Amino acid sequence: MTRRTFKLSALFAATSAMISGPVFADDGKKDIEKIQVLGDKHSNYLAVEAETASKLGISIKETPQSVRVVTRALMDDFSLDDVNQVLETTPGVSVEKIETDRTYYKARGFDILNFQVDGLGLPQERGALQGTLDTAIYQRIEVAMGANGMMTGAGNPSATVNFIRKRPTTDLRADVSVTAGSWSNKRIEADVSGSFNDVVSSRVVAVKQKRESYLDRYAVDRDVFYGIVELALTDTTTLTSSLTYQSNDSDSPLWGALALFDNKGQPTNYDVSTSTAADWAYWNNTSKQAFVELEQLIGDNWSILARYAHTQNEQDSNLFYVYGTPDAETGLGLTGYASDYQLRDRVNLLDVYARGSFELFGQTHLVALGASEADMYYFDRSLYDYQTGNGFPAMPNLNEWDGAAPVPTLEDVNPNAPGSDVHSEQSSQYVSARFSITEELKLLGGLRYTNWQTKGLSYGNDKGREQSNTSAHFGLVYTVNDDINVYSSYSDTFAPQSEKDITGAQLAPIEGDTKELGVKAELFDSSLMLNVALFNAEQVNIAVGDAANSTPDQTVHKAAPGIQSKGYEIELSGDLGYGFSANLGFTHTNIDVSDTVNAGNIQAQLVKDYTPKQVFKLAVKHEVEAIEGLSFGLNMRWQDDISRIQNPQPLVVTKQDAYAIVNMMASYDINEKVNLTFNVNNVFDQQYLNSLYWAQGYYGAPRNFAMTLNWSL
């Protein structure tokens, strides 16, 4: 396999040449996206407000923490129709595509476990997103970098992803788009919003998409429906209710991926389209959510917000895994592995909080306090065929395989089949405040107490535990002038764990924290925002196997240090002038694992190796002044080289050289209501491995095209 290597210096030279002129220009255009004006269309990539890092209603500039926002405008321009595409565009976030329908996300060297919808959500022990989450129902997607225990409770010092849904508009609006693209991609999307009267307003979003793939035999059928109604019960009372349905049915999806080395320790050389999925395999994911929100304004300065959400996720799948080490000459030596996998996941969430302001010592101060309750249930079953001989077939050379595999008998005849039956409850109380020490100096502080209880078994492991923790957040923001703020902050978080030590005692929770120092500046009359941050994040008390005290019948654990991550991030977003809008980010992450590996946490070395040290992302759009309605754009990401130790003796290492993926778009407004957009992804047809998060991997999509016709009322 041939891989192209990109040097960062050349990359910066190219992008600097492209934007060096307009970045210091001010042509008087100020199309800034004001997030509070919900539903409006904007051509800019700048957001000035976000709710992920606190519930105090403060702007991104006033928040002592790095916050990234991918706006609706950016999603529309580059047809970022699923969450993977959005987070691949988000500075500081790594998307680990380990399979076609299961993805992990990382930030600052740690898995992202915290996901929210409109600020309401809880962490999950499994950081993977299964299926593909469509973005049509979201107005923007926020990412608060670092530990966010103040808002989320348990989690990692990585980031929190907050999906902000579209809300009804007061005026009547309708948008319909039709897309056709490579590999028989067909998609239709409709978005209708408006008010019936002064009391009732609503919005409906629907999506239907069918597509095949560059991967052999893989195809997806996706349906999305989202409906939301807002009722203005009084001048100060608003009731909101919504329903969301998403289904993602996949034929011949990957479960696992390709072997990356052969029996001689050499890299395998499969075609980009090679898949390990059988022709009978499928993976159907369905998600349903009901959401109710009641907001009561009290006077001019206070409000109470109560929100409840019920979410159900279901999976039905017959999957085919391939494992082993192929022969370097014949390609033989792999074995198939069939499974029937079923999952039911239910979450009930309730969050009630009050926020407002008060005057003290001649200054205005902000405070938010509340409580949340969560009830979570998780059930799954894995069935295998050990009887007929079809459950574990010997595989031919994958380069010559057409997906034909013996059909296994996967029946639920064993009531003790391996699986999970786990019930968890989480209760939290929190308070957050911002005190104005002076006009220029603000102190933000918060505490969150969380109690977590879990009962049940998962594949023979007792998940029972009861743990509690108090998370803290502190930050200082100093206003240098009207345009520049400097800040420092400290946030911590925890993650409960059920492993036990040699005495039978449950290990203490994993503890993590983030320290951050940065500057935020609004440039050129607030049309451009710059955020530069230094960060230091780490975890302790990670459960690792205690080999010295374990027996063949019982594995015990001990606490070990986790990874320590240091680095810096630079983000520039907004209006560059001369018709250019951009979102640019560079991340440098240095992971220290010396103490961790010595303590027995070998996984830490893998994390260091497969986490790129440097990542550069750029999304830029130029509106051509000479031709009204014409615009061009570029969306690219570059990452440093990564590797993974596959075998210590003899040493086998899989390497992925540094690479860049370049996507481009051209858009033309035919008239005031009709727009045509053309997208080309992976313009230079770069061949690369999606991830080394696991020992297996598969290649990213080659060059592909899409054409979208948009109609707006």
CA distance 517 to 569: 11
Give the pLDDT of residue 151.
Answer: 65
The model's pLDDT over 657-669, given as tens digits with 9 standing for 90+, comes to 999 999 999 999 9
Give the pairing type, strands 419-436 and 334-360. unpaired
Q: Which two tokens stand for residue 534?
A: 């230094």
Using left for φ > 0, alpha for ψ between -120 and 50, and beta otherwise, residue 22 falls in: alpha
Q: What angle do CA 374, 375, 378 make, to 5 degrees?
A: 130
Annotate 244-272 with three-state secondary structure. EEEEEEEECCCCCCECCECCCCCECCCCC
Please give the pLDDT value at position 123. 57
Do residues 101 and 283 make contact, with C-beta atoms less than 8 angstroms apart? yes
137: Cα within 13 Å, side-chain hemisphere: 24
pLDDT > 90? residue 9: no
For residue 584, CA distances in Å to 9, 140, 215, 576 come to 16, 17, 31, 11
Nearest to 130, CA basis, from 304, 278, 255, 307: 255
pLDDT tens, position by position, 206-242: 999 999 999 999 999 999 999 999 999 999 999 999 9
Which residues is 444 bridged to in the sheet? 434, 475
Does the structure show a pLDDT above 50 at 26? no
Q: What percent of the chain has pLDDT over 70?
A: 91
Cβ count near 358 (within 10 Å)? 12
| Domains identified in the chain and CATH numbers | 60-712 (2.40.170.20)
Contact 366, 475 (CB under 8 A): no
Please give the residue that has the higher pLDDT: either 535 or 155.
535
Q: 510-547, pLDDT tens digit by residue? A: 888 999 999 999 998 888 999 999 999 998 888 888 77
Distance CA 23, CA 195 (A): 40
User: Which residues make Cβ contacts (< 8 Å) with residue 126, sequence separation at least 6?
Assistant: none
Structure tokens at 607: 């994390």
Angstrom distance (rounded) from CA 689 to CA 98: 10
Give 39 or 81, the one with higher predicted confidence: 81
Is 650 a residue whose pLDDT tops 50? yes
pTM of the model: 0.90
**In this structure, what are the phi and psi dihedrals at residue 607, rounded to the nearest 5 degrees?**
-60, -45
Q: Residue 117's Cα: distance from chain center in Å?
A: 12
Q: Give the model's pLDDT for residue 13.
A: 36
Q: How far is CA 112 from CA 92, 209, 276, 491, in A?
A: 12, 28, 28, 15
How many other C-beta atoms can be found within 10 angstroms of the C-beta atom of residue 343?
A: 18
Residue pLDDT, tens place only, 671-697:
999 999 999 999 999 999 999 999 999
